Amino acid sequence: MKSLRSKNYKKEFVNTFPGDDSGNLQPRQTPGVLYSKAIPTPVEKVTLLAWSHELANELGIQEPTEQQEVDILGGNYVADTMYPYAACYAGHQFGNWAGQLGDGRAITLGEWETATGKTVELQLKGAGPTAYSRRADGRAVLRSSVREYLMSEAMHYLGVPTTRALSLVATGEPVLRDMFYNGNAAYEPGAIVMRVAPSFLRFGNFEMLNARKDTENLKQLVNWTIDRHYPHIQGEDRVLTWFTEVVERTASLMVEWQRVGFVHGVMNTDNMSILGLTIDYGPYSFVDDFDPDFTPNTTDLPGRRYAFGKQPSIGYWNLGCLAAALLPLAEKDKLIAALDTYKDVYWRKYYQMMGNKLGLDKVTNEDTELITQFEQTLAAVKPDMTMFFQMLTDLPLFVQSTQEVEDHFKDSLYNDLTQEESAQLFSLITNYLERLNKNTITRQASQELMRKTSPRFILRNYLLHQAIEELEKGENQLFLKLQEAMKEPYSDKFDEFFQTRPEWASQKAGCSMLSCSS
C-alpha cells in the first residue's frame, strides 16, 4: 500500500501528446492541443466524508491519515510527480454539434500504477476552473458529488461497467447553483469526488481532432488508445477491429443499463466512454414505475431524447458520430459495416439478458415474442420495475384468476389496475407460466438465474435525496447505510429499502426530476 503523497505517478498521456503547459485557467479555445495544464484551485478546508476501502485496497492506495494526504483529495495539495490537466474534447449535445467542450470541472492528477502493472487515472471533479470551464466556476456541490460517489460504486456492485469513485470530500466553501436553470440560484455546500478509471477518453476526444482536421494527432490518439487499452488488437485493419470492439462494448453497456433500469439522462457524445464504461453521473435515475418514455433530466424535455427506452438507439447514433470522426483513418464502407454490427450484438445480448431475467433455459424465436409481450404489458401496467422482477421470481407455477395475479404483484403497483390492464397482465403471466413449464432446467436453477440478473436493491433518487438532506444537516446515518446496501444489490439483507417510491417523492425536486447541474 502506498500513500497518495509518496507515489511516483506516471504521465504517459501528457508525455505523448501536445498540450498547453502554461497553466492559464482563462476559458478559451485551445487548437492543436489535447489537454491544458490545470492546477486545482485551493478550498477553505478539505474534510474527508467517504473513502472507498474496497477500491483503495484493489489499487494499493493507503487511506489518508494526515491532512496533507486528505488535501490531495480536495485539490489543496499536489504531489511532486503529478501533472494536473484538463482534457480537450468536443461533442454532440442533444443531437447538435457543440464544438469544443473539454473538462470544465474535472482535473486529472496523474496515472496510478498498481502492483500488478494496471494503470488508472485519478481525477478530481469539482476542483476549480480549467481552460474549458467556459462561464462556469469548475466547482461541484455536495448534492451532485454524493450522487456521483454513491452511484458509480453502486453500478460497480451491480456488475455494470463504470468509472469508480475513491473518495468524497467537503470543501468548506459554498457554491452558487441554479439547480433547474429557472433563476432561483442558491448557495449549496461544496464537495469534490476523486474519480478513477483506466481512461476518461470519450467519443468527443476523437470528434474534436477530426473537426479540427488534425489527422496526425487523431491517428496517434487512436493508436495510443489501442496499444494501451486494447493491446490484443493487432494487424493492418486494427482501426476497424478496434472500432468494432468499441461498438460491441457500447451495445453491451446499453443492455446492462436496460437490465437494471438505469437511465443516464444525458447521453451526449462527450459523455460516452471509449472503453464502454458508464461515465459522468449527472441527472441519472433508476426507473421506478416501468416507463420507456421516462427521463429524469429536465433539460431533456419535452423531446425525451435520452429516455429509458431510447438509450439503445442513442448508443447507436453516438457510435455513428464516432465513426464519422474516424473517416480519415478508415474506409467509409467498412466503418458503416462495423457500425451495423451494433444491432445484432445488442439484440442478441438483450434477448439473452431478458431470458435470464425470466429464468428461461434458452431463448428461442417464440421467446422473443414473449419478451415483447412483457415489454408492452409492463409499459401499460407500469409496475415498479425492480419489485416486479423480484416478485416474478417467486411466482407460483399455477395461477387461476386475474385477481390471483394482481394480488401477487400488488406491492409493486403504483396504481389500481383497470379491468383491461388486469386482463393484460393475466394473459402475460399465463403465457409466461406455460413457457416456464417447458424449461429443461429445474425451478431452483431458474430462480437462481433470475436473482443473479435482477437487483433487489437500487439507489433510488428519493433515497439519495434523503441522504443528501441529512448530510447537509451534519448527519450521515442514511448515507452510511446506503454505502453498505449498494454493495449487496442482489441480497435481501437490506429489505427495509424494498418498497415502491413514496408518493411525496413523485413531484419533489431532486427526487423525480433533475437537471444537468445535478
pLDDT at 460 over 60: yes
| Residue 67 in domain | yes
Q: What is the pLDDT of residue 514?
A: 83
| Residue 368 in domain | no
| Residue 340 in domain | yes
For the chain, how many structural domains are there in total? 4
pLDDT at 517 over 80: no
- Residue-averaged pLDDT of the chain: 96
Amino acid at 144: S
Query: 39 and 139 share a domain?
Result: yes
Query: 413 and 468 share a domain?
Result: no
Q: What is the mean pLDDT of residues 113-124?
A: 96
| Lookup result for grid cell 433547474 | 180
Q: What share of the chain is helix, strand, coil (3-state, %, to 5)?
A: 45, 15, 40
Q: Rounded to a whole number, what is the largest CA-CA distance in the chain?
A: 74
| Residue 516 in domain | no
Q: Determine whether 270 is an active site residue.
A: yes
Query: 348 and 446 share a domain?
Result: no
| Residue 170 in domain | yes
Alpha carbon distance 330, 190 (integer Å) = 45
Nearest to 518 by CA among 265, 158, 258: 265
| 146-203 pLDDT per residue, tens | 999 999 999 999 999 999 999 999 999 999 988 766 777 899 999 999 999 999 999 9
Query: 223 and 342 share a domain?
Result: yes
Query: 432 and 498 share a domain?
Result: no
Q: What is the pLDDT of residue 515?
A: 72
Q: What is the DSSP string of 19-32?
A: -B-S---S----TT
For CA atoms 391, 394, 400, 404, give the dihedral sign: negative
| 243-275 pLDDT per residue, tens | 999 999 999 999 999 999 999 999 999 999 999
**By residue range, what is the domain housing residue 29?**
12-199
Nearest to 193 by CA among 227, 168, 225: 168
Q: What is the pLDDT of residue 359?
A: 98
Beta strand 164-177 with 186-197: parallel, antiparallel or unpaired? Answer: antiparallel
Q: What is the pLDDT of residue 443?
A: 97
Task: Count CB neighbours of 492 within 10 A.
Answer: 11
Query: 326 and 240 share a domain?
Result: yes
| 358-373 pLDDT per residue, tens | 999 999 999 999 999 9
Domain end among 150, 165, 199: 199
| 405-444 pLDDT per residue, tens | 999 999 999 999 999 999 999 999 999 999 999 999 999 9
| DSSP code of residue 42 | P
Q: What is the pLDDT of residue 66?
A: 95
| Residue 375 in domain | no
Active-site residue (options: 270, 288, 300, 384): 270
Query: 318 and 443 share a domain?
Result: no
Q: What is the mean pLDDT of residues 303-326?
A: 98
Q: What is the pLDDT of residue 285?
A: 97
Alpha carbon distance 261, 411 (integer Å) = 18
pLDDT at 231 over 90: yes
Q: What is the mean pLDDT of residues 117-137?
A: 96
| Residue 513 in domain | no
Work out the percent of the chain whose per-residue pLDDT is above 90: 94
Alpha-carbon dihedral 240, 242, 245, 250, rounded to 10 degrees: -100
pLDDT at 518 over 70: no
pLDDT at 17 over 70: yes
| Residue 21 in domain | yes
For CA atoms 187, 188, 193, 199, give the dihedral sign: negative
Among 174-183, 201-210, 271-280, 304-313, the minimum mean pLDDT is found in 174-183
Q: Which stretches of 61-163 are assigned E, i.e. beta strand?
A: 85-87, 90-93, 96-100, 106-113, 119-125
CB 375 within 8 A of CB 293: no
Cis? peptide before 302, omega within 30° of 0 = yes
Domain end among 453, 474, 494: 453
pLDDT at 445 over 90: yes
Q: What is the pLDDT of residue 235?
A: 87
Query: 391 and 299 share a domain?
Result: no
- Give the cell for residue 45: 478546508
CB 435 within 8 A of CB 365: no
Q: What is the mean pLDDT of residues 231-250?
A: 96
Q: What is the pLDDT of residue 236?
A: 86
Listed in sequence order, the residues at least 6 apart from 344 whose beta carbon sits closer than 8 Å to its beta carbon are none
Q: What is the pLDDT of residue 508?
A: 79
Query: 240 and 308 share a domain?
Result: yes
Query: 231 and 175 share a domain?
Result: no
Domain end among 199, 228, 243: 199
Query: 296 and 388 share a domain?
Result: no
Q: What is the pLDDT of residue 157?
A: 98
Query: 87 and 217 share a domain?
Result: no
CB 268 within 8 A of CB 92: yes
